[in-house]
Structure 1
Amino acid sequence: MAGERFDVVVVGGGSAGCVLAARLAEKPGRRVLLLEAGPLTGTDDTRDVTSLAATVPGHPLNWGYTTELVSGIDAVLPRGRLLGGSSAINGGYFVRATRDDLDGWGVPGFGYDEVLPFYVRSERDLDLGDAPGHGDAGPIPVRRPAGSLLAPTTGPFLAAAAALGFPEEPDKNAGGPPGAGPVPSNAVDGVRVSAADAYLGERPSNLVVRGDTPVLGIELDRLRAVGVRTGQGLIEAGEVVLAAGALATPVLLARAGIGPGDDLRAAGIRVRHDLPVGRGFSDHPAVFLPFRPHDDTPPHPHAVTAQVALHVDSGADPAGDLELLLFSRPFTPGGPLHVMCALQRPDRSGVLSVDGSAPAVRHRYLRTEADRRRLRHAVRIAADLLRAGLGTRLEPEGFVLGNDARVDGWIRDHLTTSSHLCGTAAIGPVCDPQLRVRGTQGLRVVDTSVFPAVPRRGPAASAIMLGERAAALPWDS
Structure 2
Amino acid sequence: MGQTEHGRGRVRRPDVIVVGAGGSGAVLAARLSEDPGRTVLVLEAGPVSHRPPAFASELLDARLVPGARPGHEAVQPYAVHLTPTRPYTVVRGRCLGGSTTVNGGYFVRARRDDFDRWSAVGGAAWSYDRVLPFLRALESDLDHGADALHGDRGPVRVRRTELRHPAAVAFRAAAHRLGFPEEPDKNAQDAPGFGPVPSNAVDGERVNTGISYLLGASGRLNLRVEGDSTVLGVVVERGRATGVVVERYGRRVVVCGGEVVLCAGAFGSPHLLHLSGIGPRHELESLGVGVVRDAPAVGARFGDHPQVVLEWMPRRSMPEPAGSWLGGVLHLSSSQGGHPGDLEILQSLVPLAGLMGGRASVPGAPLAFLVSVQTPRLTGRMRTRSADPATPPSFEYGYLSTAEDRRRMREAVRVTAELVGTSDFGEVSGGLTEPVVRILDDDRLLDQWVLGHLGTSHHTCGTVPMGPADDPRAAVDAYGRVHGVEGLRVADTSILPTPPLRGPAATAVLIGELIADAVRRGLT
If the length of structure 2 is used for normalisation, what is the TM-score?
0.88
The count of residues paired between Structure 1 and Structure 2 equals 474
2:138 corresponds in structure 1 to: 122
Structure 1 residue 237 corresponds to structure 2 residue 282: no
Structure 1, residues 91-131: CA drift from partner, whole Å, max 9, x if none? 00000000001112212101111111111111011111133
d(CA) in 2 for partners of 1:95 and 1:72?
32
d(CA) in 1 for partners of 2:328 and 2:239?
47
| Aligned-partner SS, 2:225 | strand
Q: Which moved more, 1:155-164 or 1:317-326?
A: 317-326
Aligned residues of 1:92 and 1:305 also touching (Cα < 8 A)? no
Structure 1 residue 432 corresponds to structure 2 residue 440: no
- Match of 1:23, as an amino acid? R
| Aligned-partner SS, 2:82 | strand
- Match of 1:455, as an amino acid? P
1:350 corresponds in structure 2 to: 380
2:507 corresponds in structure 1 to: 462
Structure 1, residues 270-309: CA drift from partner, whole Å, max 9, x if none? 222121211120000000111013x414242434222211
d(CA) in 2 for partners of 1:313 and 1:61?
35
Structure 1 residue 265 corresponds to structure 2 residue 299: no
Structure 1, residues 309-344: CA drift from partner, whole Å, max 9, x if none? 101111233531100101111022232111111010
- Match of 1:73, as an amino acid? R
State the 1:74 CA deviation: 1.1
2:209 corresponds in structure 1 to: 195
State the 1:2 CA deviation: 4.2
Structure 1, residues 65-99: CA drift from partner, whole Å, max 9, x if none? 11100012111112111010000010000000000
| Aligned-partner SS, 1:201 | helix
1:22 corresponds in structure 2 to: 30
4+ residue runs over 6 A deviation = none
2:9 corresponds in structure 1 to: none
1:413 corresponds in structure 2 to: 452
Aligned residues of 1:280 and 1:349 also touching (Cα < 8 A)? yes
Aligned pair partner of 2:127 in 93, 111, 136: 111
Equivalent residue runs for 1:25-104 within 5 Å: 25-41=33-49, 42-104=55-117
Structure 1 residue 396 corresponds to structure 2 residue 412: no
Structure 1, residues 421-452: CA drift from partner, whole Å, max 9, x if none? 00000112111112111111000000000011
Aligned residues of 1:57 and 1:78 also touching (Cα < 8 A)? no
Aligned residues of 1:45 and 1:54 also touching (Cα < 8 A)? no
d(CA) in 2 for partners of 1:142 and 1:434?
26
State the 1:54 CA deviation: 4.1
Structure 1 residue 286 corresponds to structure 2 residue 286: no
| Aligned-partner SS, 1:323 | strand
Structure 1, residues 216-271: CA drift from partner, whole Å, max 9, x if none? 21111032101111135221111100000000111110111111122212322122
Structure 1 residue 369 corresponds to structure 2 residue 389: no
| Aligned-partner SS, 1:124 | strand
d(CA) in 2 for partners of 1:426 and 1:50?
34
Aligned residues of 1:40 and 1:211 also touching (Cα < 8 A)? yes
Q: Which runs of 5 or more residues in structure 2 are unaligned?
A: 4-11, 50-54, 354-361, 468-473
d(CA) in 2 for partners of 1:233 and 1:5?
14
| Aligned-partner SS, 2:486 | coil
Aligned pair partner of 1:380 in 396, 411, 414: 414
Structure 1, residues 355-404: CA drift from partner, whole Å, max 9, x if none? 12312111010111111100110000000100113231111010101111
Q: Which moved more, 1:170-179 or 1:138-147?
A: 138-147
Q: Which moved more, 1:122-131 or 1:250-259?
A: 122-131
Aligned residues of 1:69 and 1:362 also touching (Cα < 8 A)? yes
Q: Identity across aligned pairs (percent)?
A: 45
| Aligned-partner SS, 2:507 | helix
1:221 corresponds in structure 2 to: 237
d(CA) in 2 for partners of 1:264 and 1:299?
54
User: Using a 3 Å threshold, how does the CA distance of structure 1 residues 266 and 306 change in structure 2: closer, same or farther?
Assistant: farther
d(CA) in 1 for partners of 2:319 and 2:373?
27
| Aligned-partner SS, 1:160 | helix
d(CA) in 1 for partners of 2:441 and 2:454?
19
Aligned pair partner of 1:311 in 321, 331, 342: 331
User: Using a 3 Å threshold, how does the CA distance of structure 1 residues 417 and 15 change in structure 2: closer, same or farther?
Assistant: same
Aligned pair partner of 1:181 in 189, 195, 208: 195
d(CA) in 2 for partners of 1:216 and 1:347?
30
- Match of 2:370, as an amino acid? M
d(CA) in 2 for partners of 1:317 and 1:177?
14
Aligned pair partner of 1:152 in 163, 166, 174: 166
| Aligned-partner SS, 1:371 | helix
- Match of 1:183, as an amino acid? V
d(CA) in 2 for partners of 1:110 and 1:329?
37
d(CA) in 1 for partners of 2:245 and 2:302?
28
d(CA) in 2 for partners of 1:303 and 1:375?
30
User: Using a 3 Å threshold, how does the CA distance of structure 1 residues 144 and 242 change in structure 2: closer, same or farther?
Assistant: same
| Aligned-partner SS, 2:241 | strand
- Match of 2:229, as an amino acid? T
Aligned residues of 1:152 and 1:300 also touching (Cα < 8 A)? no
Aligned residues of 2:339 and 2:375 also touching (Cα < 8 A)? no
Q: Give the root-mean-square deviation of aligned CA atoms.
A: 1.5
d(CA) in 2 for partners of 1:8 and 1:260?
27
1:170 corresponds in structure 2 to: 184
Aligned residues of 1:32 and 1:206 also touching (Cα < 8 A)? yes
| Aligned-partner SS, 1:292 | strand
Q: Which runs of 5 or more residues in structure 1 are unaligned?
A: none
